[in-house]
Structure 1
Amino acid sequence: MRPYRPTLPLFAGWLLLALALAGCRPRNEFKPPPDPEVTVAHPLLRPIVDTVDFSGATSAVARVEIRARVNGYLDAVEFEDGSHVQQGELLFSIEREPYEIARKTAEAEKARADAAEQLAKANLSRSLQLLKDRAVAQAQVDVHRAELQTAEANIKAAQAAIDQAELNLGYTEIRAPLSGRIGRRLLDPGNLVHAEEDVLAVIESIDPIYATFFVSESDILRFMEMLRNKELPDPTVTPPVLYLGLENEQDFPHKGKLDFRELGVDPNTGTILRRGSFSNDDGTLIPGLSVRIRAPIGPALPRLLVEERAVGADQRGEYLLVVGKDNTVEYRPVQLGIQVGELRVIRSGVTEEDLVIVNGLQRARPGGKVRTQLVETELKIPASRDGESGGGLPPTEPAESAQVVDPAETQNAESSEANKPAEAGETEDASKPDSAEEIVKPVPNDSAQDAPPLAPAGARPPATEPGASSRRNRKEPG
């Protein structure tokens, strides 16, 4: 008989021991991820001259098609294709022999007319003497007088023929009617040239060069109102300054002025023609190019600027993400102005004290919380091609990269700077550009003291360049 073994109590003991060991482990609880980190910056306050942009095309100041004035075979081409020629420079030669013969023929006819005149004078003189002796009739005298007048007329005709022959002979040398760049020759030596029909070459004068563009009726009405309000100078006295940029140029490096204004508005298009003149001594501008033209208008007004990469767009329009109270992200619809280098003018939607997210927009969502790092960007004004200031046009050099500032260090810097007395002659505007520009101008010391500072002194270090990004590739907030 097998002995009795208590298996059920032993199994229950092992089960209780397993449950006790499982209860000693830590509980698996969910921990929320940390708030995303973004880069923020205060909008920059600067006096900005509003501008208006147009699309246009370049054209030569003068364009001449070279044609022959006489028929003949082309003897020689005296220029290199595509070279610059001066006014009066010899370009083509047409065979001279037929026109030299024509001149000699005209000279011979002139000599014959001179001889006929001498004979007519002699006959008339004899007739008048005979008429006194009543040896000839009056009718014969009248005939001799008419012959003399005819001979004199023949002399004038012969002289005109000589002049025409010399003129045609001079036309065998075709010279440049103006200075400029000549294109390729369209006929080679040996070809028959038809007078006033065949185009031999084309000369274009491109220094200076014209750029034509069209202004809408609404813009014209706005400019007229500004003229009445004395906000714009009289264009007939002070021609407006224009800036031009090519399609492959980032900015508007070519400076010129408005030199022609069409009077009436085209009823079919609702636009009016304008033309600017631009220096082109280096020949970088050629006729027929599509160009961008920018015209500063009105006085400089304080404007807020943010980095272009901070601006987003969705179906509702352009917007900025602003960090508000408790580090909560806010959605701010904005109205954009002109672009100044890497910065964009914001007409409405934010204030100077707002913290705008400039980097990390993909991690920020309206209503969510974020951790912030403060940066600052510096606005630079480039030099134009003529060596002068860029007129406040978009800078050709990018702004320096932004430096990341720890929030704790910023607070310590603010408190330490608040306890320091201000040094004599030190202003909050010391870091601003001190050169006078037409679009972006420095705030004077007296106005800078009245304006609220962007941040406490020492809170924002000099900027270094952040990478630029297109807002077309930016994701919209959820």
Structure 2
Amino acid sequence: MLRFNTSSFKLGPKTRWGAGLGAIAGIGVAAAMVAGGAQSQEAAPPPPTVTVARPLVQDVAEWTEHTGRFVASADVEVRPRVSGYLQQVHFREGQVVRQGDLLFTIDAAPFRAAADRARADVAQAEALRARAESEFARAQTLLSLDAISQEEFEARRETAAQAAAAKLAAEAALRTSQLDFEYAHIRAPITGRISDAHVHAGNLVRAGESVLTRIVSLDPIHFEFSAPESLLAAASTNPQTGERHVLLQLEGEGEFSHQGRIDFIDNAVDPQTGTIRGRAVFANNGQFTPGQFGRVRIIAPDAAPSVLVPEVAVAADQTHRYVLVLNDENVVQYQAVELGPRAGDGLRVVRTGLDGDERVVINGLQRAFPGSTVTPQPGEVTFTSQPAREG
């Protein structure tokens, strides 16, 4: 077995000095570490500051917007009611015409001649009727004197009846020829804007076949759109007239400045879209044109109490819309919400999830997360009186 004599191992002065320095250095490092830990604890940042406010509970009239287009309230194809050669066009293409304005003239000479002939036929029939009536009256006298037979009396009575019927037929033929003469002058059936002339003077037109032009009625004008049936039924109603009012915005306009009324709701819901076709009517002084697009706003008739929060306070994850609220210890909590329409200036109706007593984070969401502690700074939710809209 090997043995070591520890007494023979002695530290020299330099070795003892180095060992002392090492011990001192170790103590210094340990002290520095303790001091650094204390400084780290003392420099821990305070909880982040966020702005919180209680939701606003306010009566809000909800509304929705729907895209649609204008259509003419009446659209008429002008066709001739008699055949003949078109003689003259009396309108300027594209102008507004009034009901009864003369539009076209068909050569009326044949119809004038037919009327004159029918008038002569009436005069002839009247003469024959008068003679037959006179003969019948004389036959009655002769029969009472037994001067004629009963058979001859019946014959004269039948002749008088035939003459009266012939006169009625002649008068009917005269009226028909007069109508044909009148129909040769084609007039506007409605008031509206007329299209161009599809047939020009000199062409042969046929009764009921040739389309001469087209007139659309523009005042009032219709606006067709589709919306959920419940919204159309609940549109705001004028208490004096019972009419359901809507507002309209044209493309490029900032406001819904045109007021109209719903005059028609279809009788069936579209099974593919779940909507029903509606129609509003607007007065038109020239700013609306058939085919033009716009947006119609349907306003609910009554305002209802609603919980409102700023839209900037609402966030979304993969499954829910949510807001962040603080408990009594200022700890952030996740609160799922169901949103309703927009309301006021930058506010959103909350249908479920909040009752109005919560402290909701409305600014600084990026500095708060569920489970963290924050420093609340009081804020306020303000409301401008506007209807609420879906979106």
Report the TM range for the smaller structure's normalisation: 0.5 to 0.7
Matched length: 343
Answering whether residue 289 of structure 2 is matched by residue 277 of structure 1, we say no
- CA distance 1:40–1:268, change in 2 (3 Å): closer
SS in structure 2 at match of 1:211: strand
Out of 125, 128, 134, the position equivalent to 1:116 is: 128
Partner residue, 1:301: 305
Out of 156, 170, 175, the position equivalent to 1:158 is: 170
Partner residue, 1:253: 257
- CA distance 1:369–1:95, change in 2 (3 Å): farther
Aligned counterparts of 1:192 and 1:38: Cα–Cα separation in 2: 87
Out of 355, 363, 380, the position equivalent to 1:357 is: 363
Identity level (%): 33
Partner residue, 1:286: 290
Tell whether the 8 Å contact from 1:182 to 1:204 is kept in structure 2 after alignment. Answer: yes
Higher strand share: 2
Aligned counterparts of 1:41 and 1:194: Cα–Cα separation in 2: 79
Answering whether residue 199 of structure 2 is matched by residue 187 of structure 1, we say yes
- CA distance 1:127–1:223, change in 2 (3 Å): closer
Partner residue, 1:178: 190
Moved more, 65-74 or 284-293: 284-293
Tell whether the 8 Å contact from 1:91 to 1:176 is kept in structure 2 after alignment. Answer: yes
Partner residue, 1:66: 78
SS in structure 2 at match of 1:199: coil
- CA distance 1:275–1:136, change in 2 (3 Å): same
Partner residue, 1:103: 115
Alpha-carbon distance, 1:183 to partner: 2.7
Aligned counterparts of 1:162 and 1:265: Cα–Cα separation in 2: 53
The amino acid across from 1:168 in the alignment is D
Alpha-carbon distance, 1:317 to partner: 4.6
The amino acid across from 2:99 in the alignment is Q
Partner residue, 2:59: 47
Alpha-carbon distance, 1:123 to partner: 4.2
- CA distance 1:238–1:303, change in 2 (3 Å): farther
Partner residue, 2:156: 144
Partner residue, 1:244: 248
Aligned counterparts of 2:184 and 2:49: Cα–Cα separation in 1: 78
SS in structure 1 at match of 2:131: helix
- CA distance 1:45–1:136, change in 2 (3 Å): closer
Partner residue, 2:223: 211
Aligned counterparts of 2:322 and 2:307: Cα–Cα separation in 1: 17
Alpha-carbon distance, 1:164 to partner: 0.9
Runs of 5+ unmatched residues, structure 2: 1-44
Alpha-carbon distance, 1:103 to partner: 0.4
Which structure has the larger Rg?
2
Partner residue, 2:209: 197
SS in structure 2 at match of 1:354: strand
Aligned counterparts of 2:49 and 2:105: Cα–Cα separation in 1: 75
SS in structure 2 at match of 1:153: helix
Out of 321, 337, 342, the position equivalent to 1:339 is: 342
Answering whether residue 96 of structure 2 is matched by residue 84 of structure 1, we say yes
Tell whether the 8 Å contact from 1:71 to 1:194 is kept in structure 2 after alignment. Answer: yes
The amino acid across from 1:111 in the alignment is A
Tell whether the 8 Å contact from 1:251 to 1:393 is kept in structure 2 after alignment. Answer: no
Alpha-carbon distance, 1:73 to partner: 2.0
Moved more, 312-321 or 185-194: 312-321
Runs of 5+ unmatched residues, structure 1: 1-33, 382-391, 395-438, 440-470, 472-478
Alpha-carbon distance, 1:173 to partner: 1.8
Deviations 1:288-323 (A, max 9, x none): 63634322243242442425x665555335456789
Q: Name the structure, 1 or 2, with higher relative contact order (CA <8 Å, separation 6+).
A: 2
Tell whether the 8 Å contact from 1:210 to 1:278 is kept in structure 2 after alignment. Answer: yes
Alpha-carbon distance, 1:89 to partner: 1.9
Alpha-carbon distance, 1:200 to partner: 2.4
What RMSD in Å do the two structures reach over aligned CA positions? 4.7
What TM-score do the two structures reach when normalised by structure 1? 0.57
- CA distance 1:130–1:332, change in 2 (3 Å): closer
The amino acid across from 2:259 in the alignment is K
Aligned counterparts of 1:284 and 1:88: Cα–Cα separation in 2: 24
Tell whether the 8 Å contact from 1:78 to 1:90 is kept in structure 2 after alignment. Answer: yes
